[in-house]
Amino acid sequence: MEVVVPCCSCSRVFVNSQLRFAAALAVSGILLILLWTGAADAKSRNNHQIPLQSLESGVDGVSSHSCIHDQIIEQRKRPGRKVYSVTPQVYHEPRSAANSNPHKGRVLLSVLDEHKDVKQPIRIYLNYDAVGHSADRDCQRVGDIVKLGEPPSSPFPAVPACNPNVKPPVSGDCWYNCTLDDISGEDKRHRLRKALEQTADWFRRALAVEPVKGNLRLSGYSACGQDGGVQLPREYVEEGIADTDLVLLVTTRPTTGNTLAWAVACERDQWGRAIAGHVNVAPRHLTSESGTLLSATLIHEVMHVLGFDPHAFAHFRDERKRRRTEVTEQQMDEKLGRIVTRVVLPRVVMHSRHHYGAFSHNFSGLELEDGGGRGTSGSHWEKRLLMNEIMTGSVDTRSVVSKMTLALLEDSGWYKANYSMADRLDWGRNQGTQFVTSPCNTWKGAYHCNTTQLSGCTYNREAEGYCPILSYNGDLPQWARYFPQANKGGQSSLADYCTYFVAYSDGSCTDINSARPPDRMLGEVRGGDSSAYWVCSRFHATGEWLLSA
């Protein structure tokens, strides 16, 4: 007989058939103890009120990066500021249609094929000249007071002071008090260079672009970027940069909260492609402990420079370099109860259909984020639908690059994507059209929980988890009210306050050192060849744990 023990047990216990009845009784008794213990554990997490939108940083115990891209873009749209400059470049010119093919009916195909053939791995040039050199924006000594954004003039020095911990937080257009962690010493600069070089290499393998012919030239009309930007070197304007398709100007200015970095495009070519960008990395996050998170964050932020940006959408081109007329569509969604914006680009839709198994005509595009405040809304994928995809509004060490993100960049008309660089995204895989088009409280199985009383398996069957249902100090939006109490919901505003099982820190089914005390009472053993899938597939299909022979 085979007894499957609860709490996402990853091992299987075999007993003699003569002991079936006794074993079943024993396990049933332990089940009651485990359920009571799990309920008490879960309740302890949900017994106090939480401010709205206060848990985006490491909501399930994992350190994360909160992106502020949209907030920066809004700041740059203020009167008297340029979002970007346009500097035409020289590109490879295909042979004239008349010379390459005298048959007029085949001219267009010939030209398109030749354009596709000329794309080469993108060449990114990293410039560190501005690191640590801004007197009013870089922390050079402990106690320095520097600008974040453009703080207003005030008769009082250093007012307003940056403070992400007050309500509402003061995290932009404020004065920042420098600490030792905010100074970019030699060790931090070394980590910065290593991380950015790895990022540039990743994109070289992931994206191909029509290469600039000769030197890349920039305008130099104004400082490139945000928070004072970076003044372009004169030689970039007069002579240009050889063997380059994109130049990234790097700074190490402080940030607030858990924002590790930010990046914006500041110059585009005649087709709208970014040719220069400003990347800022906060020195206090340049530590040996943040290596993996920093790598994911830099890929995320450079994606914004390359084209994952609402302002870039307006310049997207089709295969004939004509400006696209449909990139996103916005409409009132009656099922979701609010206005949503979806990306309707052809490759994005195709890869989304295959990922979700959403082949119904009701699926028209992939949703963009509409929550999370000014920093994330509109320039990221909807976290409810893509969860740990790298282009959602928060990034952590589990973030992955999906084919949908690479497809969006390829649909820009500027790049050819190498889809072998995409990672496997498990969230929502093969869940069907209803998963994408319906509210999350209608989801089935591992993707939804509605009580703190029980533990369950996480969506990917890799861990035992709890169901975090929080009480906020204000009512949730009407469309996010999944419970009779208007202030109750899940832990993430980016994920539309949906409730789903979150892994216990010691609940892994594959880590041999990860077994919660109740599991050890049962003598369980966990290992790399174990999986919660077997037990969870039965638990979520029936609503109860099984003891099967």
pLDDT in tens, 145-198: 999 988 987 777 788 999 988 888 888 889 999 999 999 999 999 999 999 999
Whether residue 260 is found in the same domain as residue 195? yes
Whether residue 12 is found in the same domain as residue 106? no
Final residue in a domain of this structure, among 313, 338, 358: 313
Torsion-angle region of 85 (φ positive above 0: left; ψ -120 to 50: alpha; else: beta): beta
Whether residue 82 is found in the same domain as residue 42? no
pLDDT at 13: 33
223 in any annotated domain: yes
Run of H or E including 121: strand 120-121
503-512 exposure pattern, b = at least 16 Cβ within 10 A, e = fewer: bbeebbbebe
The distance between the two most distant Cα atoms of the chain, rounded to a whole number of Å, is 88
Whether residue 204 is found in the same domain as residue 292? yes
Taken in order 407, 408, 413, 415, the sign of the CA dihedral is: negative
210 in any annotated domain: yes
53 in any annotated domain: no
Whether residue 7 is found in the same domain as residue 131? no
Catalytic one among 301, 367, 369, 382?
Answer: 301
Final residue in a domain of this structure, among 285, 313, 341: 313
pLDDT at 401: 98
Give the predicted TM-score (pTM) of the model: 0.84
119 in any annotated domain: yes
Distance CA 263, CA 195 (A): 15
pLDDT at 329: 94
524 in any annotated domain: yes
Whether residue 193 is found in the same domain as residue 292? yes
Q: Which domain holds residue 275?
A: 69-136+180-313
Distance CA 381, CA 366 (A): 8
Q: What angle do CA 486, 492, 498 make, to 5 degrees?
A: 60
Whether residue 35 is found in the same domain as residue 112? no
Final residue in a domain of this structure, among 263, 282, 313: 313
pLDDT at 82: 67
Catalytic site includes residue 93:
no
Distance CA 263, CA 82 (A): 16
pLDDT at 174: 92
Q: Which residues of the chain have pLDDT under 50?
A: 1-7, 9-24, 27, 30-47, 54, 95-98, 100, 104-112, 114-115, 372, 374-376, 521-523, 532-549
Binding residues for Zn(2+): 300, 304, 380
354 in any annotated domain: no
CATH of the domain at 215: 3.10.170.20
Whether residue 104 is found in the same domain as residue 198? yes
pLDDT at 63: 87
CB of 162 within 8 A of CB of 206?
Answer: no
Q: Kindly report the number of other CB atoms within 10 A of residue 544's CB atom.
A: 11
46-66, pLDDT tens digit by residue? Answer: 445 666 554 555 556 678 999
pLDDT at 529: 55
414 in any annotated domain: no
pLDDT at 377: 58
- DSSP per residue, 143-209: T-EEEES-PPP-SSTT-SBPBTTSSS-B-SSEEEE--GGGS--HHHHHHHHHHHHHHHHHHHHHEEE
Place of tokens 């999986």: 531
Q: Kindly report the number of other CB atoms within 10 A of residue 413's CB atom.
A: 22
Question: From the centroid of its chain, how far is CA 60?
Answer: 15
Distance CA 404, CA 410 (A): 10
Binding residues: 300, 304, 380
Whether residue 6 is found in the same domain as residue 114? no
Task: Give the CA distances from residue 44 to residues 48, 191, 452, in Å, rounded to whole numbers and listed in that order.
Answer: 9, 39, 10
Look at the chain and report how many structural domains it folds into.
2
Whether residue 185 is found in the same domain as residue 279? yes
Whether residue 30 is found in the same domain as residue 74? no
249 in any annotated domain: yes
Place of tokens 């009013």: 136
Whether residue 13 is found in the same domain as residue 99? no
Continuous H helices in 16-100: 20-44, 69-76, 97-100
CA torsion, ordered 344, 247, 293, 399, to nearest 10 deg: 20
Task: Give the CA distances from residue 527 to residues 9, 515, 520, 531, in Å, rounded to whole numbers and listed in that order.
Answer: 11, 10, 14, 9
